[in-house]
Structure 1
Amino acid sequence: MPLGILIFAKVLPHNRQRDGVGLVKFWTVWSGWTRHIRRLPRVRRQRNQPGADWLDSSPNPLIVIRPDGGIHYINPAAQHLLGYGGTSLLGASLQRILPSTGEGDIPLLQMLFSHRSQRPDGCMGLRQMICHDGRSIMMLIDAVALPDNLVMLVPRQPSQLYPDLSQHYLANRLLKSTNLGEVGIGTWILHMDSGELVWSEEMHQLFGTHPASFPATLEAYYECIHPEDRDDVRFALEQHTHGNQPFDLEYRVVRGDGSIRYMLERNHIHRRPNGSIDHLWGTVADMTVFRELQEQLSLSQLVVEYCSEGVAIMNESFDWTFVNPALCDMTGLSREMLQRSPPIFLHPQTHQPLQLAEMLPMLISHGGFWQGELGIARADGYLPVLASLSVAHSNPGLEGKYYIWTCTDITPIKVYERQLTEMAFYDSLTGLANRTLLNDRLQQALHHARRKRKDWHWRSSTSTALKTSMTVSAMPLGDALLKEVALRLKDAVRDCDTVGRWGGDEFAILLPDCRGREDALTLVQRLLSSCRLTRAHVRGDMQVSASIGVVHYPEHGADPSGLIQQADQAMYNAKQYGQGVVWIYGETQPAYVQEQRCARANRRADAPPQR
């Protein structure tokens, strides 16, 4: 038996720091190799044979095929991958486990089966393999020529081909989900001695060329590349062919119809024993969809990161998986803090915390979308927001259901609303309710009283000294006195009462839920005391006091406008009688008079003055 050496199972990693990744290369100088390949099904049980021992123990799936497409050998790793056992696949057609082999693979397989002096290899690209249980798996198939007109296939998962280029695996997955079924991944071989360029059918589809009219040369390949990228590709090829490592090229292709496509090309170098390059081979994938998706993703991320609306994504467990900077600014919390402890949403009226687990099913029960006003709890108070909630169901690459929150800070809108409300319902000088709001509160009180059959009281008061001081003194002094009287009246009433400015120096006060006349008279006396004050003036001390007219519901009527007129008449009687006087409508004598009255209060009181 002749002495020989077999160098086998050398795995060449693309990155020396990574293990177990690369293409299996074979160099044989043993005359007995051919016989062992022929007898692989039998030899695989003879552990004393080094070649068969390695093929059986290799962690990589290995399948050896004949020119007629029959399976000559399959190692245990491949059997485990596909779920077959024993020798069930031996002699079977390759189409049984690799049905996608077709015209696109013919040039590569013909080249591998026809080479006898060299041992070339190539790549069949991404292919679908069928398991024993009917499952399909996507594998990248490397092909290596063996002696005796055999070819060995090495299936690899896409993530194992280029471990240092993870972004390209994403591209492959994206392409697979979009247009991979239409264009696929092209394979090519460039023979350095003859200059012949062999393209697969997919390559012509990718570049938009026709096999019959395309000159299979390197220069023709360069002509397909975008003019701005052509010199860079030439330079890269020249530089990388000085080494032995696989390399990648990214460039644009101008197709015959004028469209521009982005390509990712993976190049491999195969050298002869003397070190010269025998051929280059590789794969090309259309990256256009990936580039477009990547650009869209970048733009979308920019929009989310820099928009003024707060954006958050929450999973089914109510964990916040993403928050943008705007939401961090709204809540006053960092992104890390929000993801650990989500913000607390508050009811817009009561400011009470809302329970998301109870609220979400109700909010999204119609169409999976909801929009409304909520509040966000902050360390410094309450932030009103317009919140939008939508449901994103399972998407490719995502499992489960996600809730997308969009929050817009409506603090300026709420401030503007308050300003409009104040302008419409409150007096601009004193901040008290104006006639519009007083009439509305009066109607509400009447409705409330009718429903609960309770008594309430309407009073209208005026300060005649204030009218005098405004006439004698400058307007700022008059305005200051009006503001002071307004504050005193608000401090003297209950929380349920309404104090308003009726016009000029006249004020109106609504006192609901009084317990009879005695209770009402006690409140009125407090109002008189609050309006009694003395202020210095250039013409001497100025005394301020009030005269009050009172009406009762339902004693004096139930019509709002009629009650207001009656209160005004009672107030006029009190003013005519003197300062510090309380007059109830329909009475002939004042109900209450303060101790100090002006001189005209000494007039005869047996008959009230008539208007």
Structure 2
Amino acid sequence: MLSAMPNRHAPSTSFIDLLLDAVCVVDSTGHFVYVSAAFEQIFGYSPTEILGRQMLDLVHPDDRAITLQTADEIMAGQPKLHFENRYLRKDGQVVHIMWSARWSPADQFRVAVARDITARKQAESMQAALYAISEAAHLAEDLPALFQQIHQIIAALLPALNFSVSLREDQGGELAFVYHVDEQPQAQNKTDLNLFNQEILRSGHPLLLTAQTQPWLPVQLHRLLGSDGQQCWLGVPLHSHRGIIGTLVLKRYADTTPYTDKDQELLQFVSTQIAAAIERKQLIATLQRMAQHDQLTGLPNRALLHDRLHTALTRARREYGQVALLYLDLDKFKAVNDQYGHATGDLLLQAVAARLKSCVRAADTVARFGGDEFVLLLENIELAEHALDIAQKIIAALGQPMELAGVQLQIRPSIGIAFYPLHGDTPMQLLKQADASMYNAKNQGGNRVAIPPAT
């Protein structure tokens, strides 16, 4: 074939230009000496633009090392079939190529046939992304972990250095920024992001904003392109059976290739699966919370208290620490229900829960044990007096009048305290001792604190 090339640069047979695959000839220094007509369709460069250029200049930076190694092997006499790498088109887009190439010792040329397999690669990537999103929905520990995994999955499909997820807490509600990563932290502007999100919500459609697209959009959106007009935004709504539950937004700064319509189609395609994954994780989180928290007060329930108490005791044994357990019952609570009704009694329990939480540290646990009984778990108590101080603080806080449903109420507690390791070393022993002490406080007239004798 090469012998048929006049001046050793171009084939005399025009039928090569009818091939859908591109035929390329590269000399020993890696410069193009011939390309067929299909080259322009695949790579975007005409023959006159590419002849004499270095082949490696077109190769994707991440694939240059393996491409050079493969070229050396071909020139050493090892023909290559179906070698795959990535090139950068003239328009900056990445194109996946499958090569078959051999070396001609007589002509000192590498002769190769290039097939564009970008569509196949994209389909494979899309299928892998959908599988990965579905898997993440099952394996991610919580929503933050899910958002991180989704970010990684999207980044494997298209540039995603700047990535954010915003969600509505309820239908029609305001968006909350639940995940936000920006390569230029100093440039983070939630106002701009909110403006872009609101346009997505208003239209209910994906939005691609570049200097070349959407001139009909509101003027205030165009300032998001930056002072040089070169920034680029791409966002999609997250649709579910409940409507739009949020948005997913990507951003690129100047000096980078802007997003394209194809990128928008890709992101829109995976957005439905992402929305389903988020809803599944939200449902699991809701069910877990319902299983572990009291529905009236929102406090941890008996089951979650037992779990935390077990963990606290394990840590205290390892670190030779002290744990305090406060068992609290509201004096004459039944009289409130009888006189004002259960609705007012429920309001009182909610108010008590709020005041109890205000009396302890964020790391402590306030749980509703049942009825009008509450249990407080205090970890890392250095001195018994610290727990006693908190108990007195609780008595003072609950003694302040509460205005509930037009009724002014006061409630007084009886509190029993048990300490690990002084009064027991198991959850059941400590709860039993604190409970018994609480009844001692109640039998003494209530509104007081009692501690059991050491075991």
- The structure that is helix-richer by fraction is 2
TM-score using structure 1 length: 0.36
Higher relative contact order (CA 8 A, sep 6+): 2
TM-score using structure 2 length: 0.47
- Structure of higher CA gyration radius: 1
